Amino acid sequence: MTFNAFLRAGVACATIALAGAAAAEPLKIALVETLSGPQASTGLLYRTAVQYQIGKINAAGGFNGEKIALVEYDNQGGPVGAADRVKAAIADGAQIILQGSSSAVAGQITEDVRKFNLRNKGKEVLYLNLGAEALELTGAKCHFYHFRFSPNAAIRFKTVALGMKGKGILGTRAYAIDQNYSWGVDVENTVVANAKEIGYEVVDKTLHEVNKIQDFSPYVAKIQAANVDTVFTGNWSNDLLLLMKAASGAGLKARFATAFLDQPGNIGNAGAIAEGHVVSTPFNPEANGDATRVFAEDYKAVTGHYPAYVEPAAVFGLMLFGEALKDVKLDGGKIDTTKIALSIEKATVKTPMGDYSMRSDDHQAQFPMVVQTVSKEAKVKADGTEFGFLPIKSFTGAESIDPVQSTCSMQRPG
């Protein structure tokens, strides 16, 4: 045996060994989030939540005999960066894309994934949407490989209005003020559409630019002139804080019904101004007795803080995803994302908040929502203030979910 032949045999052995290793292929998940820049605060929360729950899945043995590989990509806050990062992630072998903050970015990613899947049969990529809430994602833009694990505009504003009505704090005159892009427009349309059924009147409505306004007092003057009991707003971040502060400064008596009041820093910054305002979210540490409390404490032990804002929804979504993975039997073979997708549709899981499942018609998740108000009586305080979120009404998944949108026509595989 010459040295050359020996070398060749060696290479051959190594190739076989490599091929053998590749057979038990690990599932590769790419988190394409906003991890730097002005909008990074929310993206970083998604990262914490995803690391927490993927860690749990891996601790329980991972998938297909291997640990799940989680890779992070920074989309820098915009659709352009996201499109680029999604391409890179797929080129790096990612089979599943995770993303949550910004409906604008989600709109881009879901289209990119849909087109990629059309052109690459058998190598489909899944897009698990952890928090982009614009309706079109499960409407006109819905497709088989997109799953939404968060509430949407319709779910948020149906539950918040019903919850407030149940408590007798809704009143009859309402105002809708929202940001002028897909999400805000969805909120406005939902609020107007629900008016008759739930029993309030939308006296006036406003759309304004996103994150451009420093001084909301002119808008508050308009709300004041409308003389309303409740102000529905899908505003988030500074647009919500500044609106509430301007309202308080002008002595506006109306109650705010919101979707994102629980963003960290809001209660700390607004203080007593936020008291009595209402928000509808998929989680509250007091909502479901021990189950939610244990989860909150465990989350704090692992990540250093109580689950807040977008984190619980992301964790619960990945719980369902983990449950779905258990039913996919590949016996160490090649990963089949279509099988995983079909399994997500069938899976159900009991989260700390209750039953969680995925509606197969449009891939909108169905889970309990809890309407809560900012109060001193809440047991878990927010931002180190004396205030926290006190649950006032809970809704089951079936009660919360909106009807399937007629615009969604999903092409199923096979």
- List, in order, residues 6 or more apart from 193 with CB less than 8 Å away: none
Interface with another protein (CB under 8 A), residue from 20, 122, 168, 251: 251
Applying CB under 8 A, the span of 12-20, 201-209, 322-330, 398-406 interacting with another protein comes to: 201-209
Interface with another protein (CB under 8 A), residue from 86, 128, 137, 220: 220
> Which residues is 176 bridged to in the sheet?
205, 232
The reply to whether 245 sits near another protein by the rule CB under 8 A is yes
Rounded CA-CA distance 150/369 in Å is 10
Residues 136-195 touching another protein, rule: CB under 8 A, are 180
215 or 290: CB nearest another protein = 215
Which positions from 348 to 387 touch another protein by CB under 8 A, shown as an x/- string?
Answer: -----------------------------------x-x--
DSSP state at residue 135: G
The reply to whether 55 sits near another protein by the rule CB under 8 A is no
Interface with another protein (CB under 8 A), residue from 116, 219, 232, 260: 219
> CB 206 → another protein: shortest distance, Å?
6
Rounded CA-CA distance 348/11 in Å is 47
116 or 216: CB nearest another protein = 216
The reply to whether 221 sits near another protein by the rule CB under 8 A is yes
Size of the site for another protein (CB under 8 A): 40
Which positions from 252 to 291 touch another protein by CB under 8 A, shown as an x/- string?
Answer: x----------xxxx-xx-x--------------------
The reply to whether 396 sits near another protein by the rule CB under 8 A is no
Per DSSP (E only), the strands in 291-364 are 348-351, 354-358
Applying CB under 8 A, the span of 81-89, 158-166, 223-231, 290-298 interacting with another protein comes to: 223-231
Q: Quick one: 290 exposed, middle or buried, by C-beta within 10 A (0-12, 13-18, 19+)?
A: exposed
The first and second tokens of residue 295, run together, are 């989860």
45 or 371: CB nearest another protein = 45
181 or 359: CB nearest another protein = 181
Interface with another protein (CB under 8 A), residue from 4, 121, 122, 215: 215
86 or 274: CB nearest another protein = 274
- % helix / strand / coil in the chain, to the nearest 5? 45, 20, 35
Applying CB under 8 A, the span of 55-63, 73-81, 212-220, 316-324 interacting with another protein comes to: 212-220
Interface with another protein (CB under 8 A), residue from 207, 330, 404, 410: 207
The reply to whether 211 sits near another protein by the rule CB under 8 A is yes
> Which residues is 278 bridged to in the sheet?
257, 373
Residue 127 φ/ψ region, left for φ over 0, alpha for ψ in the -120 to 50 degree band, beta for the rest: beta
Q: Between 153-167 and 182-198, two packed helices, what is the crossing angle to 10 degrees? A: 40
Q: Quick one: 304 exposed, middle or buried, by C-beta within 10 A (0-12, 13-18, 19+)?
A: exposed
Residues 17-46 touching another protein, rule: CB under 8 A, are 38, 40-41, 44
Rounded CA-CA distance 206/202 in Å is 11
> CB 371 → another protein: shortest distance, Å?
24
Measured in degrees and rounded to the nearest 5, phi and psi for residue 236 equal -135, 165
DSSP of 169-238: ---SEEEEEEESSHHHHHHHHHHHHHHHHHT-EEEEEEEE-SS--S--HHHHHHHHHH--SEEEE---HH
> Which residues is 146 bridged to in the sheet?
127
> CB 274 → another protein: shortest distance, Å?
11
Interface with another protein (CB under 8 A), residue from 242, 279, 287, 371: 242
Applying CB under 8 A, the span of 58-66, 91-99, 194-202, 224-232 interacting with another protein comes to: 224-232
Q: At 15, is the secondary structure helix, strand, or coil?
A: helix
Measured in degrees and rounded to the nearest 5, phi and psi for residue 391 equal -65, 135
Applying CB under 8 A, the span of 79-87, 107-115, 244-252, 349-357 interacting with another protein comes to: 244-252
Instruction: Catalog residues that contact another protein under the rule CB under 8 A.
Output: 38, 40-41, 44, 180, 206-209, 211-215, 217-222, 224-225, 227, 238, 241-242, 245, 249-252, 263-266, 268-269, 271, 383, 385
